[in-house]
Amino acid sequence: MRSGQARLAIDYGSATTTAVLAWPDGSWSPLLFDGEPGMPSAAFVADGGSVLTGQRAWQAAVADPRRFVPRPRRPADDRLSVADGEVVPADLVAATLRRVADEARVVAGGPVEDVRLVVPAGWGPRRRMWLRHAAHRAGLPQPRLVEAPVAVASHLLAGGVQLPVGSVVVVCDLGGGAEVSVVRRSPVGFEVLATLADADAGGDAIDRALTAALPQPESASDQWVLAASVRTAKHALTEHPAVTVPVPAGPAVVVNSLVLEQAARPVLARAAGLVRDAVAAAEVAPAAVAGLWCTGGAAQMPLVADVMATETGFTPLLVHDPLLAAARGAADAGGHYPGQAPEVVPEPVPPIRRAIAIAVPGFASLAMVSHMLLTPIWNSGHLRPWAILNWGELAMASVFAVLACLGAGTVLGSALAARTDTGLPLSPRAQVATGILAAAWLGVAVAGMYAVVSSQYIGAELAPFLRWALLPTVPLLVVAAVLALIAARQWRTPSGGWSEFLAFPISSVVAATAGMLVIQWSVTAARMPDMIVWLDLAGRGGGLLMGIGVITALVSRLTLRLVLGAPFAILIATLVSHRTTGILAVIYTIAVAMWWLSRLWTRIIHPGPATRRPAMNPPPAAPQPASTRGVAGGVG
């Protein structure tokens, strides 16, 4: 079997690194390091700058503890001082990943081209790019990043667990720290609804508590020896009632399961609190949770089930092979080989309100451009007839065309992904990103078509038509590119999904369209002297509607709309004339751009408590949600 057909999935945790090789026939094999499937993520920096990894690093720590780094996985901009020198943490991570790559090359019989890296769901773009950089230093090809809870959910699905579309599960990853995620299965994959992480709610905290219960050595080297003994004893107590722990410079101590329980129960209770908080942050009713699945090295402790059931009310289930679950799931996620047809999940029929959100801006766009062409003020008194046009209608028609296309962006992305004639099946994130970009450019193309058709119909130069049709779409195109990048990198999924995120307020579209149509009608009919007063009132009414459309786009709360709507609508009404229709359209275009920027900030970059997918690295006293741009607690 050729090595290029294999997939290498690596779960680089804060405490332990695991990796598996998956083959086209569905088989898989774990990579072994020093005879074990789990390799410590620790690193030791030798005198010459070389780096020892795994068990070798722990063994070398006894001789010179100053050069030992037990947790190289750190924030992207952290620096480390090792033995009076400074090292880059990414170099230490790269050393461990390089060892994994070497072992994979031996097992596969050559270099592996398809590499997946498991990352915590709470990691932001900087930390994800940092891990990619470490993988590049290790000589790995460009990896695909798979979020840990998504990988575990994929592992459950591949193992035969029934997870119908729409079901919600909680994944509790108990490694070096704890990361709890609420995951929902969608028609195109798994979506993380909320993530909470706490570095003091996992295996490392249990090790520290268990070590504190034993006689303490005086020297630093002996402390690392004791720490290594405690780690071994903790794992042995999952199968034996008591073990003997050698204590440096002292008699050996017998540790039983009762001592381990006293050390672990407060830590596991803290992890159970994360479960409750994550479910609350995801805004999911506890009764709607299909199951609580525990994974990670510390999840193998029998006490986990008792504490989780008592503290959360859920019956916890242990993932099969919890240490390797994330790596196996990452290898399964989106797997496709030559000769195998990819599984295509059909896009469900969108709800009626979704179709309306697409149709209303589309019809408004056609109404605007048609009205502009059918109601100009013509002057035929010269050799070259000319027309006074409502440039505002052309600008708003172009904006509405882009909004209508973006409203259909996710559906378009799913349709593109369902195509099998390209030979390149798209992942769910690529579907969304492709759909957003394709929809945005389609809207710009429609705006350009409006300009060309209008120029030909009026018989005037094309330049001003292009200017009024394309320039208003530039802010929307920039925002769409940013959203596509976020969707492709899986940095954040907005609450409610991308389909709901891309739906512009229908009330704003209706009010602004009606207002501009009334304004144009009042301007073109102003040549009737006997109706000048009524036409002026009609124009002011159109301005009021335009103001309502602007406020509806800028403000989401009903009370603020009522407070700000009246004075702003009156201000817009005072500006109405045949010379200011373009200015009114520019004001509305700015409001649309502000609506997009507000959504981008409140739902993607800095989501509030009701909409965020948070990550945590709280102080030990009371873990609370924090932005995913912060440092998430490590899981091993």
Whether the pLDDT of residue 576 is over 90: the answer is no
**pLDDT, position 269:** 93
Q: Provide CB contacts within 8 A for 459, sequence distance 6+.
A: 385
592-630: per-residue pLDDT in tens? 888 878 877 776 665 543 344 433 333 333 333 333 333
The answer to whether position 316 is within a domain reads no
81-121: per-residue pLDDT in tens? 787 778 888 889 999 999 999 999 999 888 888 899 999 98
Domain that holds residue 228: 203-263
**pLDDT, position 445:** 92
Average pLDDT over residues 389-403: 86
Assess whether 132 and 212 both reside in one domain. Answer: no
**pLDDT, position 80:** 78
141-173: per-residue pLDDT in tens? 889 899 999 999 988 888 888 888 889 999 999
Instruction: Give the end of a domain, one of 130, 146, 162.
Output: 146
Assess whether 40 and 128 both reside in one domain. Answer: yes
**pLDDT, position 384:** 44
**pLDDT, position 621:** 36
C-alpha span between 355 and 214 (Å, rounded): 65
More confident of the two residues 534 and 299? 299
**pLDDT, position 18:** 93
The answer to whether position 545 is within a domain reads yes
Which of 502, 607, 496 minimizes the C-alpha distance to 122?
607
More confident of the two residues 233 and 310? 310
Assess whether 126 and 215 both reside in one domain. Answer: no
Instruction: Give the end of a domain, one of 213, 239, 263.
Output: 263
The answer to whether position 170 is within a domain reads no
Assess whether 228 and 138 both reside in one domain. Answer: no
pLDDT level of residue 32 (50, 70, 90 thresholds): very high
Q: Among 79-83, 138-142, 367-371, which is the least confidently predicted range?
A: 79-83
239-262: per-residue pLDDT in tens? 778 888 887 767 778 888 888 888
Q: Give burial (CB, 10 Å; 0-12/13-18/19+) of 212.
A: exposed
**pLDDT, position 622:** 35
Whether the pLDDT of residue 348 is over 60: the answer is no
Average pLDDT over residues 71-89: 78
Beta strand spans in 50-126 (E): 51-53, 68-69, 80-82, 85-87, 114-119
Instruction: Give the end of a domain, one of 146, 168, 193.
Output: 146
494-547: per-residue pLDDT in tens? 655 666 677 788 888 888 888 888 877 776 655 555 555 555 676 677 778 888
The answer to whether position 307 is within a domain reads no
CATH number at residue 109: 3.30.420.40
Residue type, 419: R
Q: What length does the chain have?
A: 636
24, 340 Cβ separation under 8 angstroms: yes
Whether the pLDDT of residue 588 is over 90: the answer is no
Assess whether 388 and 529 both reside in one domain. Answer: yes
Assess whether 209 and 140 both reside in one domain. Answer: no
Assess whether 431 and 564 both reside in one domain. Answer: yes
The answer to whether position 305 is within a domain reads no
Beta strand spans in 104-177 (E): 114-119, 144-147, 168-174
pTM of the predicted structure, to 2 decimals = 0.56
Q: Tokens representing 561?
A: 């709309």
Assess whether 251 and 370 both reside in one domain. Answer: no
**pLDDT, position 415:** 47
Residue 387 belongs to what H/E stretch?
Answer: strand 386-388
400-438: per-residue pLDDT in tens? 898 888 877 655 544 444 443 444 444 556 666 777 788
The answer to whether position 611 is within a domain reads no
pLDDT level of residue 342 (50, 70, 90 thresholds): very low
Alpha helices in 375-421 (DSSP H): 391-407, 409-417
Assess whether 59 and 135 both reside in one domain. Answer: yes
**pLDDT, position 235:** 75
**pLDDT, position 273:** 93
Residue type, 536: D
- Number of domains comprising the chain: 3
**pLDDT, position 60:** 85
- Provide the Cα torsion 555, 556, 560, 566; round to 10°: 60
The answer to whether position 162 is within a domain reads no
What is the sign of the dihedral through the CA atoms of 232, 309, 176 and 150?
A: positive
**pLDDT, position 575:** 73
Assess whether 386 and 493 both reside in one domain. Answer: yes
Q: Provide CB contacts within 8 A for 492, sequence distance 6+.
A: 486, 604, 605, 607, 613, 628
C-alpha span between 600 and 492 (Å, rounded): 11
Assess whether 438 and 536 both reside in one domain. Answer: yes
**pLDDT, position 172:** 93
More confident of the two residues 385 and 46? 46
172-220: per-residue pLDDT in tens? 998 888 999 999 988 778 889 999 999 889 888 888 888 888 888 777 6
Which of 597, 606, 189 minimizes the C-alpha distance to 432?
189
Assess whether 209 and 112 both reside in one domain. Answer: no
Which of 69, 145, 55 minimizes the C-alpha distance to 99?
55
The answer to whether position 369 is within a domain reads yes
Chain-centroid distance, C-alpha 147 = 9
**pLDDT, position 566:** 74
Average pLDDT over residues 280-305: 88
Residue 292's CB is within 10 A of a number of other CB atoms, namely 22
Which of 170, 160, 242, 175 minimizes the C-alpha distance to 14?
175
Q: Among 33-42, 79-88, 264-273, 402-411, which is the least confidently predicted range?
A: 402-411
